[in-house]
Structure 1
Amino acid sequence: MKTKKRRRVMAAIVVALLVVCGSAYAYITSALKPLNVESKKEIEVEIPKGSSTSKVGEILEDKGIVKSGTIFSLYAKVKSKNLQAGTYLLNPSMNVEEIMGQMSSGNVHRPVAYKVTVKEGAQVVEIADTIAKEFKLNKEDVIRQLNDKAFVQKLQQKYPTLLTNKIFDSNIKYPLEGYLYPATYPYYQKQVTLEEIVTPMLDKTNKLIEQNAQKMKERQLDVHQLLTMSSLIEEEATGYTDRKNIASVFYNRLAKGMPLQTDPTVLYALGKHKERVLYEDLKVNSPYNTYVVKGLPVGPISNSSVKSVEAALEPAQTEYYYFLAAPDGQVYYAKTLEEHNALKQKYITQKQS
């Protein structure tokens, strides 16, 4: 009887231990997972120099980043992670591994001092204006420096493949036109030079060119020609436009020795924005005006989106020589001038009458 009783007691103890161990395992597993997987809140966490692993865990728990600071610190010790001091931007949706990865790599959060957004299809004058407003500079001073040959040559030393001597053609309005990549750029230092401002823009364009080096070789385009062609495509593109079809029209016309006759080059030559390009505008004497010059204009007329660069490198295979952008944004293509004029009569002239 006593033996049976002892066995029941032992069994109860074993069960209790299993329950405790199971609960502990479940708790530890839970503590290693994100505290709130749905959270999008970013929390700034300051880890002072000399903080122990236990102290780091305590700070993270207090900030609502992890469920248990104790489990975090024990896990970090088991993994032999060297957690670095600094300010971090963390999220409750991160698991312990992700948090430790960020803190052991020293990927500290730096507050953004300035932010510049360069839009697709932006011109140097517009970009200079954006820079001037964000950094509290004089726009004309920014343009003057961007046009300074010594300044651009210094950049050329960093990017000799990207910035060729073609940008110094005497007819070029702005050497860096078309070369400043459209994106949003954060700057962390309070004092930033114009060189430091435009370098990330050139860096992104340089990488894009490097990625497409083989395609450029196959199409026999140099950097300047590619960025010039893609800028024309960018300026003609609308929300409904197939950029590759527009590219095909340009290439078909070049192959036939026909002028490109694209209105954005006229406006760029005039240096102004107009709702309608008039017949007299088409006569402006400029190496940018594709109604006057045959072939590509002397340089880009804006920067380009990646899609426009891709279209310039891989145009559609068509027999189109004309395209027409209707007021509703739709683009219509034609093989002959007669077809083009009929489309113009249908979608432009009739709409205006």
Structure 2
Amino acid sequence: MTEDQSNNLLNEKARQAGVVRRIVLIILGICILAAAGIGLGGFLYIHSTLKPVDAKSDKTIQVEIPIGSDGTAIGSILEEKGLIKNGTIFRYYVSVKNVEGLQAGEYRLSPSMNVDEIISALKKGKVMKEAEITFTIPEGTWMQDITKTIAGVTAFEEKAVNKKLHDKKYIKELIDKYSILEPVVLEDEVRHPLEGYLFPARYDYYEEKPKLASIIEKMIERMQSHMVEFSDQLQDKDYTVHEVLTLASIVEREARQAKDRPIIAGVLFNRLEKGMRLEVDPTVAYAIGEHRYMTSFDDLETESPYNTYRYKGLPPGPIASPGLDSIRAVLNPDENNYIYFYARPNGEVIYNEEYANHKKTQEKYRSEWEEAKDE
């Protein structure tokens, strides 16, 4: 290669390198502008969600913030009432600002208030008046027991409460009103249409004589507001809300300790994936319609679609009202290879992958239940 050719080659490489640098700079500039545009757009959107829904509004809206509500639940309630633009942004806003002390109670708020003004009002916690009726539904409660609780603190007779909870026309209206309710709840095999949909929590009613429908619907609204938290996870699952609540209700009745909920949920999914029967005792008790301290061999023969010892797959619907931890466990189950678990009276749960080991566990600890029953 001559000297001229060598120089030409070097010049060409230098020219190409310059072109590459310019292209890189152009691309980098475009990326920076795009990122800046996205960031600016995001900032403007978030900023707009903090402004009043309707700055010129002169109306007030009565809203109740239940005891125990977190940022997610409060955001959902405020968005549903038309008081804020985005419940999710509200949740992140109060979290980033480290807002504390939002009080439960009943408020009169206006769409003309911005988010900071609403937060200020909620921090004052001024309840309009003392609750006329208060009751608590523990996690894992059966519908029949919820019915008794409502009848026990109101003027409604148990028969009337039960009739309302099973009124097909009323249930259809609820299905149209609440997205978490599906037509499947009205199928013939489902014992109680609203079983599992009445959120377990404390409830305060400020009317002297609240309507039965308002009592029921407040409980459904609470469940719906919490399920908003899991909307993204629900979209990623192959299970419907009805199926998730069914599984969560089983976990709720099986697990005595929070740490066991995701593990038991994992076991249930393992059984379903293998085409096995779930074979969980709480479904047998529900099939019988009586709470059981121990499940007998005769109980296992109970003829009912809820008896998971006789039928594969999920029971027709939830067998109790699951709490948030059990719902989370079903949506985020522990990944394990366990197929069997055995609960001891002291709360310990023993897990096994093989039936032979599970059988040994049963034989070793079954007498504990007999002894505990006699104490």
* TM-score, structure 2 as length reference: 0.64
Counterpart for residue 100 of structure 2 = none
The structural deviation recorded for 1:347 is 1.8
Is structure 2 residue 155 aligned with structure 1 residue 136? yes
- How far apart, CA to CA, are the structure 2 residues paired with 1:106 and 1:218? 38
Q: Find the residue that maps to 2:145 and give its secondary structure.
A: helix
Amino acid at match of 1:118: I
User: Residues 287-326 of structure 1: CA distance to partner in whole angstroms, max 9, x if unpaired?
Assistant: 1110111011010000101010000001101000000001
Judge conservation of contact 1:179–1:303 (CA < 8 Å) in 2.
yes
Summarize the alignment of residues 39-118 of structure 1 with structure 2, pairs less than 5 Å apart.
107=126, 109-118=128-137
The structural deviation recorded for 1:343 is 1.1
Q: Find the residue that maps to 2:203 and give its secondary structure.
A: strand
Instruction: Decide which of 143, 151, 174 is 2:170's aligned counterpart.
Output: 151
Is structure 2 residue 333 aligned with structure 1 residue 333? no
Counterpart for residue 238 of structure 1 = 256
Counterpart for residue 206 of structure 2 = 188
Summarize the alignment of residues 287-298 of structure 1 with structure 2, pairs less than 5 Å apart.
287-298=305-316
Judge conservation of contact 2:344–2:368 (CA < 8 Å) in 1.
no
Counterpart for residue 206 of structure 1 = 224
The structural deviation recorded for 1:108 is 5.1
1:102 to 1:245, Cα distance in 2 relative to 1, 3 A: closer
User: Residues 106-143 of structure 1: CA distance to partner in whole angstroms, max 9, x if unpaired?
Assistant: 95531211112111101111111111011032112211
Judge conservation of contact 1:241–1:331 (CA < 8 Å) in 2.
no
The higher radius of gyration belongs to: 1
Where structure 2 has 5 or more consecutive residues not aligned to the other structure, the ranges are 1-106, 108-116
- How far apart, CA to CA, are the structure 1 residues paired with 2:344 and 2:369? 10
- How far apart, CA to CA, are the structure 1 residues paired with 2:244 and 2:342? 23
Q: Find the residue that maps to 1:296 and give its secondary structure.
A: coil
- How far apart, CA to CA, are the structure 2 residues paired with 1:106 and 1:279? 54
Where structure 1 has 5 or more consecutive residues not aligned to the other structure, the ranges are 1-87, 89-97
Summarize the alignment of residues 201-350 of structure 1 with structure 2, pairs less than 5 Å apart.
201-239=219-257, 242-349=260-367
User: Residues 45-80 of structure 1: CA distance to partner in whole angstroms, max 9, x if unpaired?
Assistant: xxxxxxxxxxxxxxxxxxxxxxxxxxxxxxxxxxxx
User: Residues 125-170 of structure 1: CA distance to partner in whole angstroms, max 9, x if unpaired?
Assistant: 11111110110321122111111111212222220x2111010010
Equivalences, count: 254
- How far apart, CA to CA, are the structure 2 residues paired with 1:107 and 1:351? 49
Judge conservation of contact 2:284–2:306 (CA < 8 Å) in 1.
yes
**Identity rate of aligned residues, in percent?**
36
- How far apart, CA to CA, are the structure 2 residues paired with 1:204 and 1:291? 33
* TM-score, structure 1 as length reference: 0.68
1:257 to 1:109, Cα distance in 2 relative to 1, 3 A: same
